[in-house]
Amino acid sequence: MKRILTTAIAMSLATAVPALADTVKVGYMTTLSGGAGIIGKQMQNAVNLAMEHTGGKLGGMDAEVIFVDDQRKPDVAKQLANRLVKSDKVDVVAGVIWSNLMMAIHKPVTRSGTLLISSNAGPSPIAGSGCHENFVSMSWQNDQTPEGMGKYMQDAGIKSVYLMAPNYQAGKDMLSGFKRHYKGDVVAEVYTQLGQSDFQAELSTLRAAKPEATFIFQPGGMGINFVKQWNQAGMDSVSKLYTVFTVDGVSLPALKDTALGVVSTQTWSPDLDNAMNKKFVADYKAKFGGYPSFYAAQAYDTMMAIDYAAGKAGSSDSAAMRAVLAKGGIPTTRGSLAMNSNQFPIQNIYLREAVMDADGVPTTKVIGTVFENHGDAYAKDCQF
Amino acid sequence: MTVTLLLEQMFNGLQSGVMLFLIAAGLTLILGIMDFVFLAHGAQVMIGAYAAASLTALTGNFLVGIVLAIPITFASGFLLEFLLIRHLYRRDHMDQVLATFGLILFFNELIRIGFGPAALFSDLPKALSGFVNILPDAPYPMFRLVVIIVGLACAIGIHMLVSHTRVGAMVRAGANNEAMTAALGINIRLLRRFVFAVGACFAGVAGMMIGPLTAVEPGMGEPLLILSLVVIIIGGIGSVRGAFVAAVLVGMVDTMGRVLLPVILRSFMGQAAADGAGPALASMMVYILMSLVLVFKPTGLFPPKG
């Protein structure tokens, strides 16, 4: 018995020692607790699915993923980021849903020489003059998606629009992105409270203003609240609703048929026609039940990008992986992804509509492409 | 801003205040009258919302869902008192804070395990999804009127219970002098359990009313808990009348602040500055109101006598 045990230990040591030298270590930060926990859960599911698809390896090397819960609090996020970088000594810090959290961890992570890859947040300050070469986005710059909506509504000849977003960095980016291509009359620009649950007062004011269209950004639970109350107040007869990051795989199960027909722009949709996306969506549905959201798709893309970068670089070295990603041509669920000079993606912006699929499950469907190969407005200000 | 819109917004404020009272009502009983610091009140709201939403989905009828959910929230309060709360009455307030804060985490996690982290689908029944013209050209969602009616009914009910029934007199006596009340032959333990369960039940009803309007998700009760604590402090801890007046006041100030502040600020500062400062200031209004009340009336607007 003793001999068997010693042999087993010796064998495990023999396999473990060389593996230690080239293990890709990823610290994945997302929100797993609280009201936004569903978003983090979907991202965690997608990361696990990606690791399953790569056989538990990244770039052919052994891999380790450490999940941390930022609790949607900037101070917690900063603490966790420091821990990942200093004591866990990860090669990549990835994830991050919220722009204000990204702002909190951007400097400490990038300055330590660790690669930081965003799976969602893309605040404008770190895309322009505050950019850093150790940051790569696998999602979008905040302004890109609403820019698509502004362009679409401008081209559709919509004369007046009422804007509403929560009062924080991403909310401001979304509305300024919208206004970059929309030249019609902006009736009002209303900032609501982050985490607001009742919008009745705002809806009353909106009704009196009688705008032709309304454009909102209300992610997560706020979007569920807003769309429900929009319907209950019969607002469709007053104004047509356009959204970004509001009607998606996270909110649709709670909204069901009440959100059908709502139009939004997005860089991804479950029905995008490419092999990688089809495999991702089918396997995600089979494994976790229900459609993945864009958060999940971007989390999956992030892991696949690390896999691609580590494989091409042939090592887990942060600088080598970054150099690969900066060149673009990254295989993702959005097709081959090109990279801008500030290392944010250049990508298509699609127009999506909320529909019922063949099984009576609400989802989104691409109904047009507003921008092809669209870069962000801040890249010109970025000097590494 | 037209007069009609201003009136409509005041009505919105009233409705938001009545909804706040629904949440604060149970807390008035537990914190105010029984003098027990209970932070898991928001969790009771969540339990009510989940019970109603899932039973409505199961039976396909909103009313049946509500009727079945009410005993569940009552039972949850009854059980909770029996298992945990009764051991904490004699402890100091800090122990109660710690224990009931733990309950918040426990219930949120329990709901997450049972129902998953995603928000539950809950919508209005067709019969209540219509509109009523409260003012000319101001269609108002009928369900929000129902919320006001339920809130007013709860206000009257709880006021009658506390001030005009023997049970209420016994509860107040028990809170004042436990030993003496027990010596008079009143089963103070059972009485407390009953009051606690009624409090939980009120919170549950609040959850059932909020469910169709907002996202039914884990942790939905916590933001409401903070506001209802503010309401109780402004109203005077332990006063049902105070809680009602304070709830309507808070609802009004919050709503009118959100609507009017950006407009007012825009009249004397730049658009961008006003758009930034307006919502920030509006979210502070309720707490500024509380501070003012505490400065001038430290025991609240309607401190209970005795």
H or E, element range at A244:
strand A240-244
Chain B residues whose CB is inside 8 A of the A210 CB are none
Backbone angles phi, psi at A270, to 5 degrees: -60, -25
Chain A residues whose CB is inside 8 A of the B129 CB are 232
Options 3.40.720.10, 3.40.1500.10, 3.40.50.2300, 3.40.50.1980; CATH for A2-140+273-343 is 3.40.50.2300
Q: Report whether pLDDT(B306) > 80.
A: no
Sequence-separated (6 or more) residues with CB below 8 Å from residue A270: A249, A277, A281, A291, A292, A297, A363, A364
Does the beta-carbon distance from B119 to A221 stay under 8 Å?
yes
Does the beta-carbon distance from B214 to A193 stay under 8 Å?
no
Which structure tokens are listed for A148? 């698509």
Q: In this complex, is the C-beta atom of A221 within 8 Å of any C-beta atom belonging to chain B?
A: yes
The model's confidence at residue B304, banded by pLDDT at 50, 70 and 90, is: confident
Q: What is the CA radius of gyration of chain B?
A: 20
Chain A residues whose CB is inside 8 A of the B122 CB are 254
pTM of the model: 0.86
Paired sense of beta strands A135-137 and A345-356, if any: unpaired
Q: CB count, 10 Å around CB of A289?
A: 8
Torsion of CA A54, A60, A62, A66, to 10 degrees: -50
- Between residues 136 and 195 of chain A, which touch chain B (CB distance below 8 Å)? 167, 189-193, 195
Taking the C-alpha atoms of residue B284 and residue B279, their distance in angstroms, rounded to an integer, is 9
Does the beta-carbon distance from A208 to B2 stay under 8 Å?
yes
Q: Among candidates A161, A201, A151, which has minimal Cα distance to A185?
A: A161
Per DSSP, what are the bridge partners of residue A217? Answer: A244
Q: In this complex, is the C-beta atom of A205 within 8 Å of any C-beta atom belonging to chain B?
A: yes
Which of A45-54, A271-280, B93-102, B160-169 is the least confident region? B160-169
Does the beta-carbon distance from A197 to B214 stay under 8 Å?
yes
For chain A, 384 residues long, give each residue's pLDDT as a single digit of tens: 445 555 445 444 444 444 445 899 999 999 988 778 889 999 999 999 999 999 999 999 999 999 999 988 999 999 999 999 999 999 999 999 999 999 999 999 999 999 999 999 999 999 999 999 999 999 999 999 999 999 999 999 999 999 999 988 899 999 999 999 999 999 999 999 888 889 999 999 999 999 999 999 999 888 989 998 998 888 999 999 999 999 998 899 888 888 999 999 999 999 999 999 999 999 999 999 899 999 999 999 999 999 999 999 999 999 999 999 999 999 999 999 999 999 999 999 999 999 999 999 999 999 999 999 999 999 999 998
The class of domain B3-296 in CATH terms is: mainly alpha
Candidates B126, B140, B217, B228: best to mutate against A (most CBs of A within 10 A) is: B217
Residue of B nearest to A172 (CA): B276
Does the beta-carbon distance from A254 to B16 stay under 8 Å?
no
Does the beta-carbon distance from B279 to A38 stay under 8 Å?
no
DSSP assignment string, B109-152: HHHHHHH-SSPBP----GGGS-EEEEETTEEEEHHHHHHHHHHH
Candidates A172, A199, A232: best to mutate against B (most CBs of B within 10 A) is: A232
Taking the C-alpha atoms of residue A22 and residue A29, their distance in angstroms, rounded to an integer, is 22
Chain A residues whose CB is inside 8 A of the B143 CB are 232
Burial status of residue A23 (CB atoms within 10 A of its CB: 0-12, 13-18, 19 or more):
middle
Cβ atoms A206, A241 nearer than 8 A: no
Per DSSP, what are the bridge partners of residue A365? Answer: A353
Looking at residue B236, its amino acid is G
Say how many CB pairs under 8 Å bridge A and B: 124
H helices of chain A, where? 2-21, 37-53, 74-86, 99-111, 144-155, 169-181, 200-209, 221-232, 252-255, 275-288, 294-313, 318-326
Angle, helices A294-313 vs A318-326, to 10°: value is: 110
Q: Among candidates A365, A366, A354, which has minimal Cα distance to A254?
A: A354
Taking the C-alpha atoms of residue A90 and residue A103, their distance in angstroms, rounded to an integer, is 20
| Option in B119, B278, B279 nearest A38 (CB) | B119
Q: What is the DSSP letter of B216?
A: B
Which structure tokens are listed for B265? 């600020």
Mean pLDDT of chain B: 88
Taking the C-alpha atoms of residue A96 and residue A100, their distance in angstroms, rounded to an integer, is 10
Give residue B293's Cα distance to chain centre. Answer: 20
Residue of B nearest to A223 (CA): B215
Q: In this complex, is the C-beta atom of A256 within 8 Å of any C-beta atom belonging to chain B?
A: yes
Distance from CA of B282 to the nearest CA of A (A): 9
Which structure tokens are listed for B9? 């917004």
Which structure tokens are listed for A357? 């699929």
Candidates A168, A169, A205: best to mutate against B (most CBs of B within 10 A) is: A205
| Option in A167, A234, A255 nearest B280 (CB) | A167
CA dist B264 → A191, A200, B243, B255, B281 (Å): 15, 20, 30, 14, 12
Position B135 scores a pLDDT of 74
Taking the C-alpha atoms of residue B165 and residue B6, their distance in angstroms, rounded to an integer, is 40
Give residue A290's Cα distance to chain centre. Answer: 18
Backbone angles phi, psi at A116, to 5 degrees: -115, 120
Which structure tokens are listed for A209? 């203003």
Taking the C-alpha atoms of residue B197 and residue B175, their distance in angstroms, rounded to an integer, is 16
Burial status of residue B136 (CB atoms within 10 A of its CB: 0-12, 13-18, 19 or more):
exposed
Chain B residues whose CB is inside 8 A of the A198 CB are 16, 19, 213-214
Q: What is the CA radius of gyration of chain A?
A: 21
Q: In this complex, is the C-beta atom of A360 within 8 Å of any C-beta atom belonging to chain B?
A: no
Chain A residues whose CB is inside 8 A of the B9 CB are 201, 204-205
Position B97 scores a pLDDT of 93
Intra-chain end-to-end CA distance of chain A, in Å: 60
Q: What is the DSSP letter of B28?
A: I
Q: Report whether pLDDT(B303) > 90.
A: no
Q: Which residues of A52-72 are buried (b: 16+ CB within 10 A; e: fewer)?
A: ebbeeebbebbbebebbbbbb
* Mean pLDDT, range B33-53, rounded to an integer: 91
Chain B residues whose CB is inside 8 A of the A33 CB are 108, 219
Which structure tokens are listed for B151? 């809130």
| Option in B118, B138, B210 nearest A38 (CB) | B118
The model's confidence at residue B1, banded by pLDDT at 50, 70 and 90, is: low
Which of A54-63, A87-96, B9-18, B264-273 is the least confident region? B264-273
The residue extents of the domains of chain A are: 2-140+273-343, 144-266+349-380
Does the beta-carbon distance from B16 to A200 stay under 8 Å?
yes
| Option in A197, A204, A251 nearest B9 (CB) | A204
H helices of chain B, where? 3-27, 41-59, 62-83, 93-115, 142-164, 166-176, 178-183, 188-210, 222-235, 240-266, 271-296
The model's confidence at residue B4, banded by pLDDT at 50, 70 and 90, is: confident
Chain A residues whose CB is inside 8 A of the B1 CB are 208
Taking the C-alpha atoms of residue B14 and residue A253, their distance in angstroms, rounded to an integer, is 31
Backbone angles phi, psi at A169, to 5 degrees: -50, -50
- Between residues 317 and 346 of chain A, which touch chain B (CB distance below 8 Å)? none
Q: Which overall architecture, per CATH, does domain A144-266+349-380 show?
A: 3-Layer(aba) Sandwich (3.40)
| Option in A37, A229, A256 nearest B213 (CB) | A229
Backbone angle region of A95, left / alpha / beta, with phi > 0 → left and psi within -120 to 50 → alpha: left
* Mean pLDDT, range B212-236, rounded to an integer: 89
Paired sense of beta strands A345-356 and A362-374, if any: antiparallel
Cβ atoms A121, A98 nearer than 8 A: yes
Does the beta-carbon distance from B259 to A255 stay under 8 Å?
no
Cβ atoms A308, A59 nearer than 8 A: yes
Position A21 scores a pLDDT of 52
Does the beta-carbon distance from B121 to A253 stay under 8 Å?
yes
The residue extents of the domains of chain B are: 3-296
Cβ atoms A72, A36 nearer than 8 A: yes
Cβ atoms B231, B250 nearer than 8 A: yes
H or E, element range at A22:
none
Residue at token pair 């959850």: B207
